[in-house]
Amino acid sequence: MPRVAAIQMCSTGDKAANLDRAAALLADAAEKHAQLVVLPEMFNCLGPGSVLKAGAEPIGGPTSQWAREHAARHKFWLVAGSIVESVGSTERTSNTSLLVSPSGEIVATYRKIHLFDCDVPGAEFHESQVVTPGDTIVSVPAAGVGTVGLSICYDLRFPELYRILALQGADVIVVPAAFTAKTGPAHWEVLLRARAIENQAYVVAAGQYGQSAPGLAWHGHSMIIDPWGVVVAEVGSDGDAVVVADIDPEYVRKTRKILPSLANRRPETYRFPNAASATSSSLKGATTQ
């Protein structure tokens, strides 16, 4: 059976140190015979806005080349969590994940669709002020592993994305993340297990832990969840880690057959109550979430 790995680390603004640490963790994953490895969100550079802006790179830049080299060296599929992608000559960036093949080719690029704009006390972020959202849902067949669906962190709160990935045939959905220490205890595992259960797919969640900079603290608790919603491997909130589990694409198909919730959908009845409710602007300031 294929083996997957979720990398947990605490990245900072020191890109060279982050890549050195990530390289050691990838080597550990290779020693554990992982065939698909997922790095966390912004694994190469993480900090306040000025740090992220300074660390932005184009696709094809140093971190992309680093990811290609390590995937080819270890001969596994690599989800290069996400990086801050510079976009032409504009001041704005993208939060971008790369799927790299065992031959070192970038076979898919996913730009985070849902941007973290949040005013929870202790977790105030406004990602959309500097980041351009993606507009394409991405799933890719990965030989020897199954079809891989791509998502990033805050995407986890939007079940529509994950349902479409499941309908596109995703066996494994990856969630590189920097989930906040404030929201993580109540929400992280619950949301991950919900996405696995409702879409009957494996979920591989690789998180940041610790504190990247003052005011930037992360939940950790990287984990792998099976299509029945069982956490099959996990780690706590402290320390670098390689979380490993075997997956079985046939178990995905079996689960979808014995409990056919995807087949029992009735999309012809699914409609927003009115046109306004389909837009995010109509929900701003709503008291029921």
Active-site annotation holder among 15, 41, 45, 57: 41
Name the packing angle between helices 159-167 and 184-199 (round to 10°).
Answer: 30
Domain parsing of the chain, residue ranges: 3-283
Contacts of 69 (CB under 8 A, 6+ apart): 104
**What does CATH list as the number for 3-283?**
3.60.110.10
Beta pairing class for 36-38 and 3-8: parallel
Is 209 exposed, middle or buried, given 0-12, 13-18 or 19+ CB atoms closer than 10 A? buried
Contacts of residue 167, Cβ cutoff 8 Å, sequence gap at least 6 = 262
CA distance 105 to 26: 17
Phi and psi of 155, rounded to 5°?
-50, -30
What does pTM read for this prediction?
Answer: 0.94
> Which one has a higher pLDDT value, 242 or 119?
242
- Per-residue pLDDT at 277: 60
Using the CB atoms, write b or e for 116-135: b if 16+ within 10 Å: beeeeeebebebeebbbebe
- The residue among 92 and 276 whose pLDDT is bigger is 92
pLDDT value of position 272: 80
d(CA 127, CA 273): 29
Q: Could you identify the residue written with the tokens 């993580």? A: 184
Closest to 196 measured CA to CA, from 216, 163, 225, 235? 225
pLDDT of residue 286: 44
Q: State pLDDT tens for residues 26-76.
A: 999 999 999 999 999 999 999 998 999 999 999 999 999 999 999 999 999
For strands 106-111 and 93-100, give the pairing.
antiparallel
229, with CB counted inside 10 A (0-12, 13-18, 19+), is middle
The yes-or-no answer on residue 153 being catalytic is yes
- Does residue 254 surpass a pLDDT of 50? yes
Q: Name the residue among 38, 33, 101 with its Cα closest to residue 246.
A: 33
Assess contact for 150 and 110: CB atoms under 8 A: yes
Please give the structure tokens belonging to residue 31: 């020693």
Cβ(227)–Cβ(259) below 8 Å: no
Q: Which is nearest to 113 in space by CA: 99, 94, 129?
A: 94
Mean pLDDT, the chain, whole residue set: 93
Cβ pair 96, 83 in contact under 8 A: yes
Please tell me the predicted confidence (pLDDT) of residue 289: 29
- The tally of CA atoms less than 13 A away on the side-chain side of residue 285 is 2
Q: Read off the pLDDT of residues 93-112 as tens digits, 9 standing for 90 and up.
A: 999 999 999 999 999 999 99
Residue 283, pLDDT above cutoff 90: no
41 is catalytic: yes
pLDDT over 60 (residue 281): no
Whether residue 4 has pLDDT greater than 70: yes
Q: How far out from the chain centre does Cα 131 lie?
A: 17
Dump the DSSP string for 141-165: EETTTEEEEE--GGGGG-HHHHHHH
